Homo-oligomer: A and B are copies of this chain.
């Protein structure tokens, strides 16, 4: 059996009891560690599981899936995914490949940022489609997220923005000199995301998400004991320091109702500003 097992969001104890039993008895255990990370490292997992874990990087999952799936029709293979196994498309590939090889598959779902984000007090029923934000470079500032965000915005819905992480990215300058060196891992912060959103808005000039007139919520380390939540305008969030990864951001849609406001307001950088923006942009739009 091929088991795709969600690890949840924070540490080694966020695996389910059922998942842990499978990990302990499986023939091989892989850890996918490039679309998201836990707040603990592979060694902590190995110590807790009492067994070794094979790190599966993007290259292995995308190019050597048959190696991961080898013999899984005869023995148990566990493939550990931070969060929930179906949050990222890549694992759909792997499951399709397993199916093509007639390997029996079982998925063990777990917490995902897509639902854990509810801890900020915004109703999950009021979220539209989720978007991703990648690190902008001087020459590459993809704005396709903006169009989807605008679709949500026009319906009054919240948008969850998942922030880029770069793990084991090759250093292109070193590569040009014939050496393979990996850049240190990078994780986008709430402040960087807010700043990029402001940048896109200034370029698009669609005049929708005014940096000072919309509310956004930054969430750091969702699901962990030291989770941190901050609410404010985009301008305010572009200045916050929310500490270590992972971070996520929600652009608050106009349908925000009063119970959501009451909950989120507790996290405001500045309650006076929060109330002003609520009055100006949100009040009366709730459903």
Contact = CB atoms under 8 A, between A and B. Distances in A.
Interface stretch (A58-66, A124-132, A183-191): A124-132
Contacts of A21: 13
Contact of A108 (B107, B123, B223): B223
A208 interface: no
Interface residues of A, number: 56
A106 to B, nearest CB: 6
Nearest to A260: B92
A124 B160 CA distance: 12
Given A8-B110, A128-B128, A151-B155, A118 B13 contact: no
A112 interface: yes
B109 A9 contact: yes
Given A20-B17, A123-B92, A109 B116 contact: yes
Contact of A110 (B13, B110, B131): B110
A111 interface: yes
A118 B91 CA distance: 11
A53 to B, nearest CB: 16
Given A84-B116, A86-B115, A14 B20 contact: no
A18 interface: yes
Given A16-B14, A18-B14, A114 B109 contact: no
Contact of A92 (B112, B121, B129): B121
Interface in A230-287: 259, 262-263, 266
A222 B259 CA distance: 30
B18 A13 contact: yes
A36 B21 CA distance: 25
A262 B93 CA distance: 10
Interface string A121-156: 101111111111000000000000000000100010
A157 interface: yes
A111 B6 contact: yes
Contact of A89 (B20, B123, B266): B123
A107 B112 CA distance: 13
A197 interface: no
A264 B4 CA distance: 18
A109 B115 contact: yes
A223 to B, nearest CB: 5
Interface of A: 6, 8-9, 11-18, 20-21, 84-87, 89, 92-93, 95-96, 99, 106-112, 114-116, 118-119, 121, 123-132, 151, 155, 157, 222-223, 225, 259, 262-263, 266
